[in-house]
Amino acid sequence: MTSEQALSISLGLQGPCVIARLTGDFDFGSAAEVRDRVTKALDLTQPPMLVIDMQAVSVCDSSGLSVLVYLHKAVTASGGRLLLSGLNGRCKHLFAITALDKFFDIRSTAELAIAELNEEGNSPPFTG
């Protein structure tokens, strides 16, 4: 028997990065809220730089995966980058069996992902 844990979303801005920290079950019941809130937060930076920290996600189902793919497409279409961090246990296994671990850029910790995107966001623009 499993117990459901409502998802909480913590959004923040660190340098040029939007950080979304998810805690609980990322499933059908929470997917639309994650999509809507994170999509609105992407307007804070241009191009959008997004870190989704999933360290405290206990369950991720196909609805959650669908939202992550949607966000990845939205970010990359705007010239930005999305990094996932903190995949563990069942979520890490799910990404491996669906081959999404090859589709997404995944870092072990949110701190590493944020540092990488902050470095990119603070680089001088290319002049050719």
Instruction: Label each residue of the chain as H, E or C.
Output: CCCCCCCEEEEEEECCEEEEEEEEEECHHHHHHHHHHHHHHHHHCCCCEEEEEEEEEEEECHHHHHHHHHHHHHHHHCCCEEEEECCCHHHHHHHHHCCHHHHCEEECCHHHHHHHHHHHHCCCCCCC
Per residue in 73-85, pLDDT (tens digit) is 999 999 999 999 9
**Taking the model in full, what pTM does it have?**
0.90
Q: What is the pLDDT of residues 66-118, one digit of tens each?
A: 999 999 999 999 999 999 999 998 899 999 999 999 999 999 999 999 999 98
Name the residue ranges covered by the structural domains of the chain: 8-110
pLDDT band at 122 (very low <50, low <70, confident <90, very high): low
Which amino acid is present at 114? I
Please give the CATH topology (third level) of the domain spanning 8-110.
Transcription Regulator spoIIAA (3.30.750)
